Structure 1
Amino acid sequence: MQQPSLSALTSIVEQIARTGDPRTVMSNIVQRLRDLMKVDVCSLYLCTPDFQHLILAATEGLSPQSVGKAKLKLDEGLVGHIAASLSTLNLGDAPADDRFVFIPETHEMPYHRFLGVPLLHLRKLIGVLVIQGREREPFPQEAEAFLITVASQLAGTLSQLQSKGGWYEKRTARGSYRRFPGLKGAPGLGMGKLWLVRPHLSLEQVRAACTSAPDAEKKAISEAIAAVSDELESGSGHLGQHLPGDLHALFSVYQMMLQSPELSQQIQTHIDAGDNAPWALKQTITDMAEQFRQADDPYLKARAEDICNIGQRILNQLLSRERPSMETPDEALILAGELISIADLAEYPLHQIHGIICTQGSTLSHTAILANALGIPAVMGVEQFEPEHHKGATLIADGHRAECVLNPPAALLAEYRRMIDDEQRFMQGLERLRDQPAVTTDGFTVSLLTNTGLLADATPGLQRGAEGVGLYRSEIPFMIHDSFPTEQEQYKLYRKVLQAYAPRPVNMRTLDIGGDKQLPYFDISETNPYLGWRGIRFSLDNAQLLISQIRAMLRADMDNGNLRLLVPMISRVDEIQSFRRYVEKAVEALNREGQAVRMPKIGMMIEVPSAMLLLPRLAPYIDFVSIGSNDLTQYLLAVDRNNPRVSSLFDHLHPAVLVALEQIQQQCDTLGLPVSLCGEMASDPAAVLLLIAMGYNCLSLSAYNIPRVKLLIRSLSRQALMSLLEQTRQCSSEAEVRALLAPVLEQVGWGKDKRPHLPEEDANGAQ
């Protein structure tokens, strides 16, 4: 048997990536592999969505009538043995093996040699790939190695098909009842009409499509190119001489590429051939990028990435212009889509959004954080769900159980309505705690501050009893603006927030972009953005932006006196030194201009492990510390919380994170620095138990969660929690930590998948 080449494997993977229909994908796999490996049979078995059985999903060589019918338990037969043992099996005479199970409808008796490998994706069994032949000897080692390589390459693609179940059963019929599991995004229950949010396509996701109106497509592409050109001109001009030389040159390169006759001409040629604008754009950008990659000159090679960035910008403009104007119905909506952004939510009246369902994302993606902040139930990563096929259907977003329920029957619908009513009454009952302190039963008081900046209206925190703002995200106005906001525009916004909370403290974080927070008008393309140009690094390299922001904040504070500046992503002593100098100079300059501003307190966020280790050297330049638990966890564990391949490993109760938090608390006590903690950890009831035990007396969380966490704190004794903390120090994993804390949460009525109960003394308004 001739050994196939790796280029042949690449060809298979690329062809499958271009195929849409699940059955066609699987048919292509077995057909191409049988031809490449010159074998009699190639078969693909996939796990059923409930992982109870293996089904013959596609075959070349066995009876076609057996597809979808041949069924084995996970430990039944040779295929079942491979699934159970997760190991390769290579036999010379399969029917003679004791584990062999004959399935009559497959007609496989003539085939003796058998080679099967498991398909594994993210530690999960997807199925089994098998080849068979008539000879009575095992397959050569080269064939075994090749099939293992094929399986590793295809497992990711097949995982998506396997989880959706479209290969196994008919697509859920419109109007039929079904539940779809996902990941917890934000707690709560929401019910409403499924409203599809426009997809955010990448250039790679564009598929072939025709047009019957070429003139309209040409006009659309011309307008999109002109809009991108205006974006670039606006971004470059706004920064002017303060733009770093390399970025200034990048803007110029982008403009040259946009104005290139080849770009427009090639796109128009494709449109004349019958392609629609996005497909014409993709083909043109792909061709031009490949030409750059083939160049010998390193500079020209590097331009391939630039032309792809240009193509994505043009596509974004096309999609925004193509989107039909749809009037939102005046009823409760469950927004559904791949990922739903701040800009998406801004298009709908907030009172109509009763839930969010995302087919991508993780528990700590920004969509989930946003939903938590707004008090909207959200379920993330619902892979099996295809919302585009169920527009207008009745949908329930169950944030407690991390599932969405499609077209629930009348009895279930009534039960959910009852639970939603109960939850609303429970939240109304918590309103009586608004002006009560968050104090444990043995007298330990915790200040509960709010995170804000996601909404123009900063008052929800006040309505729910916030004692100030622990984190004002100043980047949000930058992200939803169409260019860098001016000092005066920022001043007006900051003044409203400071005024609303005065005299309560407001910690305003300076611009924190980079990582997964990008500005639409200032493209930052990096191989590893989380370790790149983000936070204070970006601000110090763009001093004009930083100075404008500091001046706006100082001016906004003049009549309020409650501003505290917070600096993100500090990792070096010279960064906080430089920042402090900029603040001092801005105070001096504004005072000379006749504006009586004061020097505010300056704090830094501990998100990068180096900041934790350098705390004694950083202390002379700061007045307080705020721990960004999301990023600190991400960097300590080396886990990208937005990467579905590893997001399950992200947990702020990991023993290493707990050790770090104890060390930070102890160092801050020694140095006399006030310390608070913000991020999703402050809303996690299990984490709150340990934070109180460690001595954290200031937490910053979403306004919606403040009453719930206050109720929890008022139900606990810190002394009892301290002995619990001692036990967690012996735990080896976050699972052990959570198991240890679960009984305590149960005792105060905060069990798994349950909302807490209002204690009798609080329900009656008594202390």
Structure 2
Amino acid sequence: MRGALGGPRLLLRRLREVMAEPVNAQARLDRIVIHIAANMVAEVCSVYVARSDGKLELYATEGLNREAVHLTTMTTGEGLVGLIAEKAEPLALADAQAHPAFSYRPETGEEIYQSFLGVPILRGGNMLGVLVVQNRARRTYSEEEVEALQTTAMLLAEMIASGELQSLAQPGQGFTLQKAMALCGAPLCEGVGLGHVVLHEPRIVVKQLVAEDPQAELRRLEQAIQAMREQIDQLIARGDRYGVGEHRDVLETVRMFANDRGWLRRLREALESGLTAEAAVERVQNDARAKLQRQTDPYLRERLHDLDDIANRLLRQLTGQGPAHGGALPPNSILVARNMGPAALLEYDRANLRGLVLEDGGPTSHVAIIARALGLPAIGEAPNITDLVETGDAIIVDGGSGEVHLRPPPDVEAAYGEKARLRARRQEQYHRLRDTPTVTRDGVEISLHMNAGLLIDCEHASEVGAKSIGLFRTELQFMVAPSFPRLSEQYALYRKVIEATEGRPVTFRTLDIGSDKVLPYMAKVEEENPALGWRAIRIGLDRPGLLRMQLRAMLRAGAGREMRIMFPMVATTCEFAQAKALAERELEFLRRHNYILPVSLDLGVMVEVPSLLWQLDEICAAADFLSVGSNDLTQYIFAADRDNKRVSSRFDTLSPPSLRALKAIVDAGDRHGKPVSLCGEMGGKPLEAIALAAIGYRHLSMTPSAIGPVRAAVLAVDVGAARDFLMPMIDRPDDCRSIRQELHAFAERSGVPL
């Protein structure tokens, strides 16, 4: 069937006409296989559809016994059809019955057919079925025929994915795309969200498959490839980022794929089969995705993201569509993305947003911080989630356990509906405790403060009964802004924050950028190890104009109020002294120019660099207060990158080395009469909060949603008993095991809610 190259194009046009006819799903599919058989000069054409139970069911045939339709099934890997489904690769045989995988089905009457050609029906790399043609005579199918059948399979994939054939399925035997699935990721923000999928970067739908002018399509493809290459080169030359999380090494990988000869050759071959440029990109990506999804090598599976990236870039060039942006959402939307930045999340309509699921992004990522600020159930590190969902799919997000349920069956949906109602009742209980003094059973007060980074966060302070804003992350304003915020813009935000807290104190942290917090409008400094590089106070001291502007905005905003400012990433008392001198210089500037000054100014330090553990007496003498950043302190103590999945869970904050360091800090504060708080993720977990209270912490700052559960735990615990239980384990010589299990058992015996 060389059918010249007009064969596939003519077939696709006819199939499009069939798709538009007002007939039922079975009649439409029956007509499709008749047209395919005629065009391919084959005696048989059959369509097998992958069911949710893993079986392949014969849905239509021309040439085999019609009685076998919806009766003949085989499992993935069984027979030639099952082999194609398993490997996601075409199979062409001149003597099918001689193949070891051949499986004889007497009800089909296929024993008289010798030649066999089958191709997978793929969409987004997902296996939807198998399309087969057969001939009585032994013959060798040409590459053009294989290409033609693969092209035709693309149209069938859209038909299956549309749900039109669902009416033909037996109860409980829906298609692969409708299959219920459960995934487990990393919990980012507690809560349960039930709704429907909205893809942050939705799949670009290719509507025109058939090329009217193949040469024109080739020119379009070449122009798009060249434009994409130039765009990537410009991004690398600028040291900038295109989208979120795309650093230079990622861009270099993308550039490598953009120049890969094999990939370009496959694109041109797909064009030669009669496809448009967009359809050719989708065809090639479908094949690559199907193969890579079946790889067990993690490195090869990671290349799937790179290929997706390059294919999406090329499709955007061809269609003129830019990256998706936020905006209005349908009711009960669950946002699903490979990754996204805090600014992108804030662009979405919060009123209809019920949850967030990311392929990447750990608990300490910036988008996770925003999700917690919004009180949005969120999960990160959900494997291949963007490959497995379609917009509109039913989905459940359990931010507490890290579970994601796709297309859940009714019993699972009902169970989670009850869980959501139970959580709502628990939240109501926490709300009733809002104004209850947070005092332990043995009379020790533990002050609970709130972490914030956006103006919207501050509205929650009174709702949850936070004593103050224990940490206001000023860098978030810089990260979501299109350009560097001016003095007036910074002042306006800080003033609004102070006013929104209704008299509660606010502790502002100066700009903590660098490492993974790269401002989109600021040239990225290439460093071998950015987490230990030029960041936070180091940038502020090297660029004093930047730090002085921020300090001036804060001090002006604090006119007539108590003012608290702390400096991040301080490694030596000398650094703190330099930062303090800049603050005093700005205070003097405001005094000279007759600005109203804060009634008091406390300058503190974030203890997150281990070197301060050997300068505790000196830093306590110099600073007005200390605040422990447990996220960074823990990763630096254990030399374990908190965003590295292989090592982030290797060490536990509830282990003697970590607790000894934390106790040394609070003990030093007590010796010098300086307040010490803890504002990392550790303080927002009930079990960890008990441990912190037991070793001497009396001020904990956390996300708004964590205050209720921590308050309930604190009210139920006897700190003296917890201390007596904990200290012997912390002081055990030569024992660095986590004490989590023992402490959990103690809490349960003591009736502490966790």
Could you tell me the TM-score, scaled by structure 1's length? Answer: 0.61
Question: Could you tell me how far 1:606 is from its partner in structure 2?
Answer: 0.2
Question: Secondary structure in 1 aligned to 2:569?
Answer: coil
**1:13-162 superposed matches below 5 A:** none
Q: For residue 572 of structure 1, what is the aligned residue in structure 2?
A: 572
Shift in Å, 1:517:
1.0
Pairing 1:151-550 to 2, within 5 Å after superposition: 173-198=176-201, 212=217, 322-323=322-323, 328-383=328-383, 385-387=385-387, 389-522=389-522, 523-550=524-551
Whole-angstrom distance in 2 between the partners of 1:434 and 1:486: 37
Q: C-alpha offsets along residues 184-226 of structure 1, whole Å, 9 cap, x if unaligned?
A: 22222111111112299xxxxxxxxx99497799799989989
* CA pair 698-514 structure 1, distance change in 2 beyond 3 A: same
1:635 aligns with 2:636: yes
Q: Which amino acid aligns with 2:509?
A: R
CA contact (8 A) 1:651 1:734 kept: no
Select the residue among 740, 743, 754 that pairs with 2:742.
740
Corresponding residue of 1:563: 563
Alignment check: 8 A CA contact 1:555 1:597 kept: yes
> Equivalents in 2 of 1:535, 1:635: separation in Å?
15
**Secondary structure at 1:191's aligned position in 2?**
strand
Partners of 1:196 and 1:387 within 8 A in 2: no
Q: Corresponding residue for 2:34?
A: none
CA displacement 1:142-196 (0-9 Å, x = unmatched): xxxxxxxxxxxxxxxxxxxxxxxxxxxx998122212112222222211111111
Give distance in 2, aligned partners of 1:590 and 1:402. Answer: 49
Equivalent position amino acid for 2:467 in 1: E
Q: Which residue of 2 aligns with 1:118?
A: none
Change beyond 3 A, Cα 1:528–1:746: same
Shift of 1:447: 1.0
Structure 2 CA distance for partners of 1:721 and 1:547, relative to 1, 3 Å: same
The amino acid that maps onto 1:647 is S
Maintained 8 Å contact 1:509/1:566: yes
Rounded to whole Å, the distance in 2 between the matches of 1:539 and 1:530 is 16
> What residue is the counterpart of 2:59 in the other structure?
none
Corresponding residue of 1:721: 722
Sequence identity percentage: 34
Shift of residue 490, structure 1, vs aligned partner:
0.3
Q: Do the aligned partners of residues 668 and 188 (structure 1) sit closer, same or farther apart at CA in structure 2, a change above 3 Å counting?
A: same
Deviation at 1:547, TM superposition (A): 0.8
Task: From the superposition, tell whether residues 460 and 213 of structure 1 become closer, same or farther in structure 2 (CA, over 3 Å).
Answer: farther
Give, in whole Å, the separation in 2 of the partners of 1:171 and 1:519: 46
Equivalent-residue separation in structure 2 for 1:399 and 1:324 (angstroms): 25
Provide the C-alpha distance between the structure 1 equivalents of 2:688 and 2:503, rounded to a whole number of angstroms: 29
1:495 aligns to what SS in structure 2?
Answer: helix
Amino acid at match of 1:550: L
Alignment partners' CA distance in 2, 1:528 and 1:316: 34
CA drift at 1:364: 3.5
Residues in 2 aligned to 1:322 and 1:541: alpha-carbon distance in whole angstroms: 37
Q: Deviation per CA, 1:675-711, whole angstroms, max 9, x where unpaired?
A: 0001110112111111111111100001111111111
- Distance verdict in 2 for CA 1:736–1:173, change over 3 Å: same
1:701 aligns with: 702
Tell me, in whole angstroms, the C-alpha distance in 1 between the residues paired with 2:623 and 2:427. 38
In the other structure, the counterpart of 1:581 is: 581
Return closer, same or farther for 1:749/1:592 CA change in 2, 3 Å cut-off.
same
Matched residue of 2:709: which SS? helix
Cross-structure match for 1:24: none
The residue that corresponds to 1:153 in the other structure is none
Following TM superposition, by how much is the alpha carbon of 1:366 offset from its aligned partner in structure 2, in angstroms? Answer: 3.4
Residue-by-residue CA offset, 1:258-303 (whole Å, 9 max, x unaligned) = xxxxx9xxxxx99x99999xx9xxxxxxxxxxxxxxxxxxxxxxxx
2: distance between equivalents of 1:335 and 1:609?
38
Q: 1:516–1:529: 8 Å Cα contact kept in structure 2?
A: yes
- On the 8 A contact 2:515/2:530 being kept in 1, the answer is yes
Which amino acid is the alignment partner of residue 617 of structure 1?
E
| Other structure's SS at 1:596 match | coil
- CA distance in 2 between partners of 1:316 and 1:657 (Å): 49
Flag the structure with larger Rg: 2
C-alpha displacement at 1:545, in angstroms? 0.9
Q: What is the aligned residue count?
A: 528
Asked if 1 retains the 8 angstrom alpha-carbon contact of 2:337 and 2:358, the reply is yes
- What is the CA–CA distance in structure 1 between the aligned matches of 2:314 and 2:467, rounded to whole Å? 45
Say whether the 8 Å CA contact 1:518–1:524 is kept in structure 2: no
